[in-house]
Structure 1
């Protein structure tokens, strides 16, 4: 048995995982998880291919058009390769993946990878802007509820956060679009643009409101959990101003867990932003996947799902790396 904890009399035993420094164990764990990402992506690609290929509807008829006769539909089916056996198409798809080829879009005739590289940056822009807004608002609300607010103010802020978390994304998007675009006319109801464009405001706020509520609740719990720490009580006893105590002694030690929460929320936004992109006609990967589903563009839909999955997995992994850099004690718990 390897010793669980070190003492002065502990004798190092060859082969024990506990003999390695915490940093080495942490790096080893991260590398193991990075190796599993391609395997997970391959599994997702297989499942997505089988499920998408089983979708009802005939892609050849959609591409040929509603007025096409049976001969034209059959010619299109042969052109798209849909006349081949399912097993052969699956093997060709997997072979293309290993070559970095996601296939060719049925609708545009362009490589799916090229189209995804064109639309994915807009999704990342939307998710990053929404996450920045959510973190700013959530940290402010959580800190106020934990440090400054009385019982009534704290309960009111946390109730508002709970309501924000529970709001359905599609309903919130439609409500904001109705109020600020249709009734007040302050913002465009849809469109595209960069980070500084007015078109990004409504979709970013829609994504940010539930995330801000989640961050606020977590921030309040994290900050409140450190208010009774010894160094905090010592600072208060020395007469340090409450604002300084909160900023230097409480907020600083609460950043570590918040990094993992923010990264996990960012991956959630990247994976679930499709409905917002569709409602606001934001030309990102989510809308690209939705349009591919509507038009039965199987290669485009499969490529979009695979790309989103890989980005979410990488985001989660980078979050863990950042968390370990902020708090090296995490590596001490790796087996």
Structure 2
């Protein structure tokens, strides 16, 4: 870790993976906010010293929490904004949270801002109105904004997972900010990431399976809290998992045992899904299978959060 530490306020903190990556980059949260009880319990289990508030960020009033003012960084992995095809018009929940995040920034006045979302927010014209509103609000508040789409696979994560990032700095004489560069080594494959755990209960086909699972995974899909159970996503995503030798219709409780067919197609467990997200083994996820998987599937992989956070920390340090 860096010798110099910074303060942060994390909203929509989820399973805590982004906060974990930012902690590695030098940021200590004064508070974390999420409206899901299981997610709040997860973060408290893993970081008892962190102040976790289980409430909706839309209703959060910083005047009641003066320690959140003037933090170095306001960060958050926001709910995924709906595409135009899904009903872009209207005051949907995702846009309400996005706007609440920007308005919260103008209230607490952090030195820097980091928000993560779907790549479409940066890459597609359908979201030009959202980007313009955000940039205008930031500029009016005296912040300079930077946009980028980054892929977790370029930062040592065994998964092709693209995310959009908005980073902004208070324009107080300017900062020297550069987006992080990809790591200089090939990403782990699914077989490399999960081979040992697939063999841990005596499955004789684990070594052959790991050799076949020779690419990074497709992006895990956390799904909606309104429907469905823990599976690996829509039909196209399940096909991509099948090409890697993984059955994506559901999750297993444990890795395959000695009775599993040598050439069978195993399901992955919750712990293995967390490994695909580069969430460390010691990070405990609270809840039954479905809510636990949603926390994992929605997470920003810690190595990517650390990479962006390190670039922000370097800019803040001057």
TM-score normalised by L of structure 1: 0.26
User: Over alpha carbons, which structure has the higher Rg?
Assistant: 1
Which structure is higher in RCO with an 8 Å CA cutoff and minimum separation 6? 1
Write 1 or 2 for the structure with the bigger share of helix: 1
TM-score normalised by L of structure 2: 0.27
